[in-house]
Amino acid sequence: MGYDPQAIEARWQAYWEEHQTFRAEVDLEKPKYYVLDMFPYPSGNGLHVGHVEGYTATDIVARYKRMRGFNVLHPMGWDAFGLPAERHAMKSGRHPAEVIVETSGNFRSQLKRLGFSYDWTREINTTDPGYYKWTQWIFLQMWKHYYDREAKTAKPIEELPIPASVRDAGDDAVAAYRDGRRLAYLNEAPVNWCPALRIVLANEEVAEHVEQGYEVIRRPMKQWMLRITEYADRLLEDLEGLDWPSHVLEIQRNWVGRSEGAQIAFAIEGHEGATLEVFTTRPDTLYGATYMVLAPEHPLVATIASSTQKADVDAYVKQTSLRTERDRQAASAEGIKTGVDTGARAIHPLTGETIPIFIADYVLMGYGTGAIMAVPAHDERDHAFAKAKSLSIVQVVAPAKGDAVDVQEAAFVGMGKAVNSPIIDGLPTAEAKAKMIEHLVEKELGVATINYKLRDWLFSRQRYWGEPFPLAYAQDGTVSPIPEDALPVELPSVPDYNPSEEGEPPLARATQWRELPGGLKREVNTMPQWAGSCWYYLRFADPGNADAPWAKDIERYWLPVDLYVGGVEHAATHLLYSRFWHKVLYDLGWVHTAEPFERLVNQGMILGATYVPLDKRRDDDGKKVSFLHEQVDITEDDKGSEVCTVKETGERVEVQWDKMSKSKGNVVNPDEVVSEYGADAIRVYEMFMGPLEQSAPWQTTGLAGTHRFLQRAHRLVWDEAGAVRDMPEGEGTPRQRKLLHKTIAEVTERTDRMGFNTAIASMMVFVRDIQAEGEPIARGAAEQFALLLAPYAPHLAEEMWSALGHSDTLTYEPWPAHEPSLLVDDTFTLVLQVGGKRRGELVAPKSASKEELEAMARESDVVIKWLDGRTPRRVIVVPGRLINFVV
């Protein structure tokens, strides 16, 4: 009986389960290691091979670290709130909770079949009231705190200093003042409304939905917001110390979008006391400001528009509010600028000249002050607008060197030196900026400021399947929190998951649930899907705690996460949101580090094959024509290149690798792979495909290769009849021993740096060369090899370990150590080069001096032949490597 993965894997999975092998407890004697996967949304489609890649990588690290003596926390759970379950519920008439129990159960058994070493006693589910109780609790803390900008920390709202003028205005004014400062606050503002889904979207979610073909429009609504912008600078600064992929850091920096500049005040003609504040990163171009632009939503628009322009302005404002995001994006891509003159005139703070004030939708209300000074000579957008409206363009920056530029033709946006700017003429841009700010401050016309692209996080959704807010409203609209001891606010059953007829969220249908004593009515919005995933990594440390989100001493032991692995698609959403929550919790003393995830790794995608015609034609419905693997014959031409033809028609097609998706039909189901080749084979195959971070195509033939490797490894220990071989004690012949220790050294180093593909290659070499030796493997060598294999193919490794006479799991066996002296040779291969070309080699003693090496080389046949009597101009000797005769 040969290698039988099904039997081996079932046996060891049962053993691990029965012995609770991977259960983790706080142990202050041992160093901890927290290795985490981005937990999945348990969809009805089940696990796919893409999940397997990341989860295998973390499992290897978890198993390896256990053997290196770490106390490893490696948990798994379900991010189970969200739209798909709700839609499934709408279709099937079943409650989402019921569906989730089923789908997460399916995920769990799939994960167990792959042999992942999770501590299943820590399994969490974001939709469990025992879990979302604390999601609500954290939200309440945000509601109860404000951000102290001086102290750079969150503080209880009671400590918020109240200005005397507010206090004098009475209790309502004080309450309103506080409400305006809370980290969680209500805001009536234009939101990204998706009519098809009947929900609002966070800014971070818009692009994704538009891409999927949904319409997203701007619409004013009262919504809960989280004041993430107060943390913008810390979210940016703290990226510094993180061991994260550079592109994720870049995405986050981009998203926070810090820019330094100045805020400058312009007076408005005929409106004494009113000033128009603008933000600019180029205060040095102030003299070039020839007009002003307000966002159509700007509050001053209504008051300053002149009577003659009023109608045009109103029409433009209305038109803008109805435009979709997609429209505006499309227009921006084409550089089309629209806008109308308000008729009002601003007074240039330095020259005293009057300049026109426009409104235009290329200026965004949400950024800076919602108003700009337009400098058409040095800004492309302003230039385009000025051209469209025939406004004057005045150059105030010239290139520092090189030819003059014509700013009437095109904007010059680069750095240079100031011109036509009396107080800063001749200064290079950087100095000009500083000098200008200094001047503005002195004259009380402006201040230096920093702006961020980041906006506050829109945190409510008009859906059923999410965490209810722990808040209620009085008749007059004032908000009161649900007491902490009354949490969780459980999701009620509703007769219908659609928004109500009045357009209220589905929870409004739970009329009884909604009513509270004293005429209070519960909030009927729910939290977005991101809420539960903002802190799940903390709950894993202490998942059963009923009295607190987690115990602080337990958090202090397990956190932060040492290694976090997941897809890059969460770079601007989940990773930013959870960092924000973590910082709030840090300010409140609930966590002891400023950052949650020390090291982040993004696994690449596993690509599936479809076959497309060479002309890439579309069918009658406009869909690209494509064929699946089963429909195609693959042969080779005389050059060895692949030739693919459609079986039925013989048409030539070519392979195309895409992200696996149901609609493309190129998805590989891991269950089928496990049934055919075993969990160890799919684990090893996915790691062998290439570096973890890189995307790679799924090729079933490659999988067969790793299966063969495991078979060969199996044969080291068992003979053809399935009996354990007679093995000599010790580590074998000197050559076997040396091979073993070289393998230990390589696998250790490569596993350490997560070079899993190369670690596997080195184990393959070991198995091949041990077999080639002809001698059976020695027991000691087989044991150590089993330990090296354990993180990668844990079932087979356990089976070997057991066959070698051990009654316990190898999970906590110490990782093998190599003997360095065995890796040192007394001789090496000296490469002989003549004229920089490799001409031969010889074996030389390590101890030989440069002179001795040169003498040996000169005597060799190849060198004599290639020197051909010439005297080398120079001889380069690199001891241990090569010798080069330069001719």
Partner RNA sequence: GCCCGGGUGGUGUAACUGGUAGGCACGGGGGACUUAAAAUCCCCUUCCGUACGGAGUGCGGGUUCGAUUCCCGCCCCGGGCACCA
Q: Which is nearer to RNA, 277 or 504 (CB)?
A: 277
**What does the DSSP 8-state code read for residue 506?**
G
Shortest CB 659 distance to RNA, Å = 8
Q: Which is nearer to RNA, 186 or 375 (CB)?
A: 375
Using CB under 7 A as the binding rule, whether residue 331 contacts RNA is answered as yes
Pairing of strands 32-37, 291-294: unpaired
Query: Residue by residue, what is the 3-state secondary structure of 5-44?
Result: HHHHHHHHHHHHHHHCCCCCCCCCCCCEEEEEECCCCCCC
Q: Which is nearer to RNA, 114 or 576 (CB)?
A: 576
- Partners of residue 243 on adjacent β-strands: 599
Measured in degrees and rounded to the nearest 5, phi and psi for residue 771 equal -65, -40
Task: Return the residues of window 682-711 that contact RNA according to CB under 7 A.
Answer: 688-691, 694-697, 699, 701-702, 704-706, 708-709, 711
Task: Return the residues of window 433-452 that contact RNA according to CB under 7 A.
Answer: 451
Shortest CB 208 distance to RNA, Å = 9
Cis peptide before 31 (omega within 30 of 0): no
Shortest CB 448 distance to RNA, Å = 12
Using CB under 7 A as the binding rule, whether residue 574 contacts RNA is answered as no
Using CB under 7 A as the binding rule, whether residue 573 contacts RNA is answered as no
- Partners of residue 350 on adjacent β-strands: none
Task: Return the residues of window 144-173 that contact RNA according to CB under 7 A.
Answer: none
Q: Which is nearer to RNA, 118 or 688 (CB)?
A: 688
Shortest CB 274 distance to RNA, Å = 19
Shortest CB 429 distance to RNA, Å = 13
Q: Which helix (H) or strand (E) segment is 333 a member of? A: helix 325-333
Question: Of the candidates 112, 435, 712, 806, which one interacts with RNA according to CB under 7 A?
Answer: 712
DSSP tally for the chain: helices H, then strands E: 30, 34
Using CB under 7 A as the binding rule, whether residue 677 contacts RNA is answered as no
Shortest CB 454 distance to RNA, Å = 8
Q: Which is nearer to RNA, 492 or 702 (CB)?
A: 702
Q: Which is nearer to RNA, 380 or 515 (CB)?
A: 380
Question: Of the candidates 151, 614, 772, 824, which one interacts with RNA according to CB under 7 A?
Answer: 772
Helix ranges restricted to H, 180-231: 203-211
Shortest CB 529 distance to RNA, Å = 18
And the tokens for 272? Answer: 């004494």
Q: What share of the chain is helix, strand, coil (3-state, %, to 5)?
A: 40, 20, 40
Binding segment for RNA (CB under 7 A), chosen from 11-19, 395-403, 469-477, 875-883, is 875-883
Shortest CB 360 distance to RNA, Å = 8
And the tokens for 114? Answer: 């792959």
Task: Return the residues of window 369-428 that contact RNA according to CB under 7 A.
Answer: 370, 372, 375, 379, 381
Q: Rounded to whole angstroms, how far apart are CA atoms 373 and 275?
A: 13
Task: Return the residues of window 582-641 that contact RNA according to CB under 7 A.
Answer: 636, 639-641
Task: Return the residues of window 339-368 that contact RNA according to CB under 7 A.
Answer: 361-364, 366-368
Binding segment for RNA (CB under 7 A), chosen from 175-183, 404-412, 417-425, 833-841, is 833-841
Binding segment for RNA (CB under 7 A), chosen from 329-337, 466-474, 488-496, 513-521, is 329-337
Shortest CB 284 distance to RNA, Å = 11
Give the number of residues in contact with RNA, rule: CB under 7 A.
Answer: 88
- Partners of residue 214 on adjacent β-strands: none
Using CB under 7 A as the binding rule, whether residue 332 contacts RNA is answered as yes
Task: Return the residues of window 217-256 that contact RNA according to CB under 7 A.
Answer: 246-247, 250-251, 254-255
Shortest CB 277 distance to RNA, Å = 11
And the tokens for 587? Answer: 């300010």
- Given a contact cutoff of 8 angstroms between Cβ atoms, the answer to whether 488 and 129 are in contact is yes
Q: Rounded to whole angstroms, how far apart are CA atoms 724 and 783?
A: 13
Question: Of the candidates 103, 104, 135, 280, which one interacts with RNA according to CB under 7 A?
Answer: 280
- Given a contact cutoff of 8 angstroms between Cβ atoms, the answer to whether 428 and 400 are in contact is yes
CB contact set of 790 (below 8 Å; sequence gap of 6+): 63, 67, 797, 798, 801, 810, 811, 813
Shortest CB 817 distance to RNA, Å = 20
Question: Of the candidates 143, 193, 231, 279, which one interacts with RNA according to CB under 7 A?
Answer: 279
Q: Which is nearer to RNA, 219 or 258 (CB)?
A: 258
Helix ranges restricted to H, 114-245: 129-144, 164-168, 171-179, 203-211, 232-237
Q: Rounded to whole angstroms, how far apart are CA atoms 830 and 856?
A: 10
Quick check: helix, strand or coil at residue 239? coil
- Burial of residue 529, with CB atoms counted within 10 A of its CB: 0-12 exposed, 13-18 middle, 19 or more buried: buried
Among left, alpha and beta (phi > 0; psi -120 to 50; other), residue 841 is: beta
Q: Rounded to whole angstroms, how far apart are CA atoms 646 and 281?
A: 59
- Burial of residue 197, with CB atoms counted within 10 A of its CB: 0-12 exposed, 13-18 middle, 19 or more buried: middle
Task: Return the residues of window 780-799 that contact RNA according to CB under 7 A.
Answer: none
Task: Return the residues of window 752-771 that contact RNA according to CB under 7 A.
Answer: 755, 757-758, 760-761, 764-765, 768, 771
Return the number of other C-beta atoms located less than 10 Å from residue 480's C-beta. Answer: 12
